[in-house]
Structure 1
Amino acid sequence: MIEPVTDQESHLRALRRIEELWSAEPGSAEESELDALATLVDAYERRRFPILPLDPVAAIKARCEQLGWTRKDLEPLIGSRARVSEVLGGKRALTLPMIRKVHASMQIPADVLIMIPSKRRKGTKRAA
């Protein structure tokens, strides 16, 4: 019997049942149960563990880490050492020319770079 996934206990039960059903035959009742449970677990996990979008500065810092870049490597994209420091410190916003250069050089989606960081979100976990 399929039950709602509303708390940690029901979540764990659903995950265990999903493991049991993982190799269900296509078109079978077990496959339908697997699909329903996966949908319920997905909805619960999206509510319980939301993934917040990166703000532009966090995205740039994360991409720099992936690429092995230093602040010096950002200077051709953002400007002087002081300008890079201001942007990464949240004291100055990215300009459109900066966004274009960062997007082209670092392959960070432009919509992430355009997003205005919210003061309210400061200190919350963001996706990496």
Structure 2
Amino acid sequence: MSKPAAQLRINIFKLHTAARTQAVCADVLQEARSWSKLRPHRPGDCLMPKRMIRPLRSESDYDSALEEIERYFESEPKPGTPEGDRFDLLALVIEDYERKHWPIDPPDAVDAIRYRMETGQHTQADLGRLLGSRQRATS
């Protein structure tokens, strides 16, 4: 077979493949249109399912989860609904990721007492009365 004839066969094959691909795409499009007839469009509804919630393994997963959960901050979904369940699951995986990647160490006991005294506007005399001894409050 000559080179031009082989090239012609390749071109015919490519055209045939492209036509078949277009036909398949047209069938998929037609099927999608039939779905909308069976289930009319409602606000917030779509034909494509939402992404499955998975454990967050990277910073980009974390950022995506934050973007998604922010949409619920304006109006929190009702508990027990599919949207409410999704909100709860997103909150859990975000909390888990944050706890693993940015742990918060518990405060020193003395620093915690001092902080509580400052925020509650308590004095060392108040602490001494609570402990039963003013000397204990100063040490």
TM range (shorter): 0.3 to 0.5
Higher RCO (CA 8 Å, separation ≥ 6 residues): 1
TM-score by length of 2: 0.45
Give TM-score scaled by structure 1 length: 0.48
